[in-house]
């Protein structure tokens, strides 16, 4: 085997490369811009054979995800349900999300299942937040 063959790296799969992407890392880009927002939110998850709930405060919101500081502990890749009270909406946004990254108590979530009404609400809220920035 040649020295070149020994050092040849296998290409990363999309899942592997996305897992390592966190805000600020090389090559990281967002699909949608994020906007500062500070609301109290609830996170529900299934851990240790039972449903758990923790609370947190959002830090930023985009049309495809949210950043928040939480009281509980989650791992990257964990699926959760988020209840997020949003301006312009009479009811909290209830959505499934995946934990994309964790830095201490700060987490990044990507929304998984959005219906058309939820997408529209997020788009309108982000437009409103953009005018305040």
104 in any annotated domain: yes
Q: Considering the domain boundaries, does residue 22 fall inside one?
A: no
Residue 18 lies inside a defined structural domain of this protein: no
- What domain range is 115 assigned to? 32-132
The model carries a pTM of: 0.78
Q: Which pLDDT score, from 0 to 100, does residue 29 have?
A: 64
Tens digit of each residue's pLDDT (9 = 90 or more) over 16-59: 334 445 555 555 566 789 999 999 999 999 998 999 999 999 99
pLDDT in tens, 62-120: 999 999 999 989 999 999 999 999 998 999 999 999 999 999 999 999 999 899 999 99
- Residue 92 placed within a domain: yes
**How many domains in the chain?**
1
Tokens of 104: 């201490």
């Amino acid at each position: 085997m040649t020295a070149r063959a020994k050092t040849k790296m296998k290409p990363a799969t999309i899942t592997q490369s996305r897992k390592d992407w966190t805000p600020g890392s090389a090559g990281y880009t967002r699909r949608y811009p994020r906007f500062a927002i500070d609301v109290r939110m609830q996170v529900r998850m299934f851990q240790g054979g039972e449903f758990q709930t923790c609370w947190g405060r959002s830090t930023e919101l985009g049309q495809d995800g949210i950043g928040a500081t939480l009281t509980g502990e989650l791992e990257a890749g964990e699926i959760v349900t988020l209840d997020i009270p949003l301006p312009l909406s009479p009811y909290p946004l209830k959505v499934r999300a995946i934990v994309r990254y964790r830095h201490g108590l700060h987490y990044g979530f990507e929304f998984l299942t959005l219906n058309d009404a939820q997408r529209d609400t997020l788009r309108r809220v982000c437009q409103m937040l953009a005018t305040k920035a």
